[in-house]
């Protein structure tokens, strides 16, 4: 939707500098790609030279940016936090898709289920017995909400999300397409040459303000609950095993795997493709870097990498030592070749 530069400035509390024409903004783009009638932003001063070359009609910039830093055709909107101001403007330029607050006649809703005021359930969604949806929930096409599932207010389930029986969601939970919450955990006991399944009779609790990416799987607990804490954000293609306890405001990037009964404490960051073994603890505010393999507990605020994962600085020192060793390979080979002669010489003495 079109909006004037002045209105955007008022929206994000910005100070306008330079030419405000053209008066309307219709979309947003990055500095390199932006053109007339588009908004962009600059948050890192190291890219400030792009202000001279961008074709954007308006750019949100840090408060200290001077008017001379940009082309005369670009209006600068100076703010304290360009990223948050840009987010506010994006929400105005690209408002969320409207919902109709209706229950499709092609949805299958069990008569014992309760659906809160303002909810929107699309065609071919299925809601099981005794399920309870809060106010203003949006269940898109093809979703399956199992028996006894509860959703808080303002939850959004994108197409083909599956919530197995007994799963509980807090308020304002968003789950993207194809994710499965509450499937059986992977638990077996090997007896008499066979893998005997341990019944998975627990559930999953997703607390409020959590967002879960597409095709992510969070397994129900064997006993008790698998829990995802308040405000946590989980990317696409993540596997969370049974009985995992994830704290508040954790960030889990794509293709991470977390083993059973592991504890991920508050404000942890798990970077893409790392793996965390079962029955370990990752301390608060710790960072597990990409492709690391965590096999033992990680301390609060530590940063680990490699396999098995160790402190980042220690791992870098080890890698540097290996590179030096590789660089001296010829000398080492020569020493090995001379060892027999050295033994003979020492033996003669």
Say yes or no: 273 and 169 in one domain.
yes
Say yes or no: 161 and 234 in one domain.
yes
Say if 170 falls within a structural domain: yes
Q: Could you tell me the residue range of the domain that residue 210 belongs to?
A: 108-311
Max Cα separation, the chain?
99
Say if 260 falls within a structural domain: yes
Answer with the one of 93, 122, 141 that is the final residue of a domain. Answer: 93
The pLDDT of residue 341? 79
Say yes or no: 124 and 247 in one domain.
yes
Say yes or no: 176 and 324 in one domain.
no
Please choose, from the candidates 145, 141, 117, 152, the residue with its C-alpha nearest in 3D space to the C-alpha of residue 130. 145
The pLDDT of residue 265? 98
Say if 154 falls within a structural domain: yes
Say yes or no: 137 and 84 in one domain.
no
CATH code of the domain containing 169: 2.160.10.10
**What residue spans of 50-199 are helical by DSSP H?**
82-93
Instruction: Give me the number of domains the chain comprises.
Output: 3
Compute the distance between CA of residue 56 and CA of residue 22 in angstroms, rounded to an integer. 10
**What residue spans of the chain are helical by DSSP H?**
5-12, 82-93, 312-327, 329-348
Residues marked as catalytic: 242
Say if 100 falls within a structural domain: no
The pLDDT of residue 97? 83
Answer with the one of 45, 70, 93 that is the final residue of a domain. Answer: 93
Dihedral sign from CA coordinates of 129, 168, 258, 254: positive
Please choose, from the candidates 222, 225, 224, the residue with its C-alpha nearest in 3D space to the C-alpha of residue 204. 225
Say if 270 falls within a structural domain: yes
Cis peptide before 76 (omega within 30 of 0): no
Answer with the one of 93, 124, 145 that is the final residue of a domain. Answer: 93
**Strand 108-109, strand 75-79: pairing:** unpaired
3-class SS at 169?
strand
Say yes or no: 284 and 266 in one domain.
yes
Say yes or no: 299 and 344 in one domain.
no
Say if 24 falls within a structural domain: yes
Q: Look-up: residue for tokens 């609950």?
A: 225
Compute the distance between CA of residue 210 and CA of residue 287 in angstroms, rounded to an integer. 19
Say yes or no: 72 and 117 in one domain.
no
Written as tens digits, the pLDDT of the chain (349 aa) is: 789 999 999 999 999 998 766 679 999 999 999 999 999 999 998 899 999 999 999 999 999 999 888 888 899 999 999 999 999 999 999 998 887 889 999 999 999 999 999 999 999 999 999 999 999 999 999 999 999 999 999 999 999 999 999 999 999 999 999 999 999 999 999 999 999 999 999 999 999 999 999 999 999 999 999 999 999 999 999 999 999 999 999 999 999 999 999 999 999 999 999 999 999 999 999 999 999 999 999 999 999 999 999 999 999 998 888 888 777 778 878 888 888 877 877 765 5
The pLDDT of residue 349? 56
Say yes or no: 145 and 274 in one domain.
yes
Say yes or no: 68 and 149 in one domain.
no
Q: Which residues on neighbouring strands pair with residue 17, listed in sequence order?
A: 76
CATH code of the domain containing 82: 3.40.1390.10
- CA end-to-end span of the chain: 92
3-class SS at 34?
coil
pTM (2 d.p.):
0.90
Say if 98 falls within a structural domain: no
Say yes or no: 269 and 331 in one domain.
no
Half-sphere exposure of 136 (CA within 13 A, CB side): 8
Say yes or no: 249 and 199 in one domain.
yes
Compute the distance between CA of residue 4 and CA of residue 25 in angstroms, rounded to an integer. 6
Say if 183 falls within a structural domain: yes
Compute the distance between CA of residue 12 and CA of residue 85 in angstroms, rounded to an integer. 5
Count of beta carbons in the 10 Å neighbourhood of residue 235: 19
């Amino acid at each position: 939707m079109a909006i004037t530069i002045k209105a955007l400035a008022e929206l994000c509390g910005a100070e306008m500098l330079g030419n405000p024409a053209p008066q309307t903004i219709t979309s947003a783009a990055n500095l390199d790609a932006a053109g007339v009638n588009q908004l962009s932003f600059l948050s890192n001063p190291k890219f400030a030279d792009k202000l001279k070359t961008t074709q954007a009609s308006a750019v949100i910039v840090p408060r200290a940016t001077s008017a001379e830093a940009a082309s005369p055709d670009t209006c600068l909107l100076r703010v304290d936090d360009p990223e948050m101001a840009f987010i506010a403007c994006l929400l105005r330029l690209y408002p969320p898709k409207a919902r109709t607050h209706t229950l499709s006649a092609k949805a299958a809703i069990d008569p014992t289920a309760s659906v809160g005021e303002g909810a929107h359930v699309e065609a071919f969604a299925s809601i099981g017995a005794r399920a309870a949806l809060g106010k203003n929930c949006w269940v898109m096409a093809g979703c399956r909400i199992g028996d006894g599932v509860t959703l808080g207010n303002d939850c959004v389930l994108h197409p083909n999300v599956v919530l197995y029986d007994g799963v509980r969601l807090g308020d304002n939970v968003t789950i993207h397409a194809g994710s499965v919450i509450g499937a059986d955990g992977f638990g077996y006991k090997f007896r008499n040459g066979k893998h005997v399944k341990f019944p998975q009779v627990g559930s999953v609790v997703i607390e409020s303000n959590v967002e879960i990416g597409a095709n992510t799987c969070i397994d129900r607990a064997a006993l008790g609950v698998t829990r995802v804490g308040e405000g946590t954000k989980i990317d696409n293609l993540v596997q969370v095993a049974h009985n995992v306890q994830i704290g508040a405001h954790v960030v889990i990037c794509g293709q991470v795997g977390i083993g059973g009964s592991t504890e991920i404490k508050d404000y942890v960051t798990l970077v893409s493709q790392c793996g965390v073994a079962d029955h370990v603890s990752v301390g608060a505010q710790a960072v597990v870097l990409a492709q690391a393999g965590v096999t033992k507990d990680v301390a609060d605020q530590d940063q680990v990498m490699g396999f098995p994962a160790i402190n980042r600085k220690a791992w870098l020192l080890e890698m540097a030592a290996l590179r030096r060793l590789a660089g001296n390979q010829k000398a080492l080979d020569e020493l090995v070749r001379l060892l027999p002669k050295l033994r003979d010489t020492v033996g003669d003495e």
